[in-house]
Amino acid sequence: MGFVEAKRRTVENLGTDKEPKIPLPWGPDSYQVTLDLMGKDYWSYGVPNNPRSLKALLDAAFAQGLLKRELKIDEIFEPSTLQLTDQ
């Protein structure tokens, strides 16, 4: 779960003035607006956390001719990874 740890480290202190990660004076305010709009886990990992986004991606790819047939989400991921999340 290296990606989960990298994500945790990236967002640590993001919304504070302590060691700001965004070199902008309005960084903490923008972070709070994002949280208010999208929730705490606005970049969630894992198939269970993102079914609507993944379905929209597959539907768009098929509609644009990038896929020869419609695919289901469980067809594009290794079965052992389908239940992995960042929780």
- Which pLDDT tens digit goes with each residue over 62-72? 999 999 999 99
Give residue-wise pLDDT tens across range 43-61.
888 899 899 999 999 999 9
Q: What whole-number distance in Å separates Cα of residue 73 and Cα of residue 58? A: 8
Q: ∠65-84-52 over CA atoms, to 5°?
A: 40
pTM of structure: 0.66
Q: Which residues contact 59 (CB under 8 A, 6 or more apart)?
A: 70
14 φ, ψ (degrees, to nearest 5): -60, -40
Q: What whole-number distance in Å separates Cα of residue 12 and Cα of residue 58? A: 32
Per-domain residue ranges of the chain: 2-38, 51-81
